[in-house]
Amino acid sequence: MFTTIQLHVDGPVAEVVLDRSPVNAVSLTMYEELTTAFRDLSERTDVHAVILRSANPKMFCAGADIRETVEAISPAESVFELRQRWARTCYDAILDCAVPTIAVVNGHALGAGAVLAACCDIRFAAADLSIGLPEINAGRCGGARHLARLVPQGRLRLMYFTGEPLDAEEALRVDLVQYVGKDGDELAEARALAAKIARKSPLGLRLAKRALNESEAMGVREGYAHEQKYTIRLAQSPDAKEAAAATLEKREPRWSWPGDGAAAVTTEAAPAAR
């Protein structure tokens, strides 16, 4: 089905694997396949967490494939404009993935590679990580807005204007990554975290992800009021009662998903009280 990525599903956890030798340079085909994979995973009711990683143990992604030559879809659209549009579509698909996403980033994660990681909810890094936005060195700019959600402005601008990357420890210090591997355990730790997340209420995970995404650009008051809509929706679901019962009875919860839960993700909730 795919030629530049792999897709593996093991129970409730999926892994999307970048696999375009030698350095996972992102082609138009890879943008398209990543978009398809993440959109499809968002629609699945059996997947509750997604890991994005590389098949190359020494390289996450060296950036966009600037050597690629393709024909534009329309005469009015240049190849560069086409690439930018497909890139936006791909990044949006990862950002909008219905379930929590974890990037496992190793070796170089540059340009488009840094943005792919930034679009995920959580990032685990190998000790050899070098992550940055070197576009200034190639006569381009791009990707900073995605990292601006994660990195302080001063540090981001230093990266952007110089093209110099961060190593794993500096990325951890500024919270661009949340874990740095010890003896190469970053993938195992990411899988353990994904399995832990996937045991939570599937409805709760999806509503929490939407609440976080939609309230991110809002002010505190507006954002909290918006978040409360999802709180009300979840509180009115069977999973809320089951979570309380499981806690009191000291047992694993038995979620009702998908049941009516899948519809509840997209059904408009009652407005929160002001």
Q: How long is the chain?
A: 274
The CATH-assigned architecture of domain 5-198 is: Alpha-Beta Complex (3.90)
pLDDT of residue 104: 99
pLDDT of residue 142: 78
pLDDT of residue 130: 98
* Strand (E) or helix (H) holding 180: strand 179-180
Quick one: CA dihedral 171, 175, 234, 246, positive or negative? positive
Question: Where are the domains positioned within the chain?
Answer: 5-198, 202-266
CA 83 – CA 70 distance, rounded (Å): 10
Q: What is the mean pLDDT of each run of 10 residues along the chain (274 residues)?
A: 97 98 96 98 98 98 79 60 90 98 98 98 98 87 90 95 96 98 97 98 97 94 93 92 92 86 56 41
Query: Is 202-266 a CATH 1.10.12.10 domain?
Result: yes
